[in-house]
Each structure stands twice: as C-alpha cells, then as structure tokens.
Amino acid sequence: MRIAKMDKIRNNLIEHSSIGGANMRYFKSYCMFIVITLLLTGCAGVETEKSPSNSKLTIESYNMSEKETLLISKTGVEQIEFFKLNGTLKEDDDLQFSVEVFENGKFKEEVLKTWDELETKYNDSLISFGIIDNRDEEHSLKLLNGIPSGLATTFYSNNMTTSSFGLLIDGKMNLEKNKPIYLTAWLGTTKNELRSGGGTTGELPLGIEEVELAFIYKVLWTDKEKK
C-alpha cells in the first residue's frame, strides 16, 4: 500500500511538472511576441520620422498693417504683394518661384526663376512680388521676387500707358505637387481700357489674351532637380 501511494505521488509530481513546463513555454512565447511587436512598432515610427508620407504646404495672402504699408511706400515700390508660406518639404522636393511673361496674350518666357530652396520648413515664411516703375527715366520696370532665402530682381522694357496689379488667390490655398499656383498679376496695355487682372483660384487671370504685356507671379511644388 505504501509503495502504491509513493508511485501515485511521483506520477502527480511528473504531471504537474509537465503542466508547469508547458505554461512556462507559453509565457516565454507570449513575451517574445510582445517584444517583437514593440520593436516593429518602434521601427515603423523611426521610418515615419525619416520619410513623412504626407507633406502639406499652404499659401495665403499677407495683409499688411497701415504702418507696414506706409513703410513700403517710402521704398519706391509702387506695387507689391506679400504671401505667407507654411509646411515642410520632403528631402527630394523643391519649391520653385518665378515670373511668367506674356506678350500679346501669348507666353513668351520665364524670368526670376529660383529653385533648390535652402529652407525646407516654412512657418509663416514670407514671399513677395513687387514692381518699381522706372518708365519716366529708363522706360523699364524693375521686377522684385522676394523668396524665403533672399531677393531676386531684373529689369524689363516697358512702354505701357495703362496697367493693373491684382491678387489671384483668395484665402488659404493648399499647394498640389506639380501644379502651379499663380499668386498675383501685373497687366499692361497702350490702349485706354484694361480689364482687371484679379482672381481667386490661383489660375491665370481672365483677359490675359487681350493685354499686350503681363507678368504673372508663380510658385510650383515639384521634385528637386538632380545635379
């Protein structure tokens, strides 16, 4: 009888040991699953930081205060518009700023083009397009392209007698990659009448085909040019 009891006790110990071993193996497997999950989650977070999949860039007109307008008027710049830029560029992206020139309603050339922007993060960064009329002395216009990293200027021959200067956007606009946004337009003619060159959607102004000379300020979000 005593021997039978000892065998029973030994069998129970072996059975409990087997169950304990199975539970331990299950516990270790569960812990390993948690660790792998955390590592994969961490790697995904690092990858997102290095290469953000969703870049967003916005632009809107900047309304100057009375004091700012007064200060600008003392510089000799008769016509100028400022814009606020917000967002972050990815490593392989670029912003291009330029002025498209139209003569007699047809595209002629692109001037003041800048690219390979040094800045990639924009927080209310200002850009601008302005014109100084030197017609009385040199029969030319001085075009000003204010970009986040500086200022670009050029002169353009001008014999227009009437002109208009207006915005082409209204409110905040989202930039779309490889789709230009036209921000402001200067239109000129030697005739007595001239249609206003304003707009609200960032498109080329209506009536551009009717004017003799036009300067359209443009921004383009695109891929960085390979060197």
Measure Cα distances from 42 to 30, 37, 47, 48, 91 in Å. Answer: 19, 9, 9, 10, 22
Q: Please tell me the distance from the alpha carbon of residue 10 to that of residue 70, in angstroms, as a whole number.
A: 100
Most confident stretch, 30-34, 49-53, 118-122, 191-195: 118-122
Q: What confidence category does residue 31 fall into, taking pLDDT thresholds of 50, 70 and 90?
A: very low
What average pLDDT does the chain have? 80
Residues 118-152: pLDDT tens digits? 888 999 999 999 999 876 667 789 999 999 888 99
How many residues are recorded in the chain? 227
Statement: residue 3 has pLDDT above 80: no
Half-sphere exposure of 116 (CA within 13 A, CB side): 3
Phi, psi at 22, each rounded to 5°: -65, -45
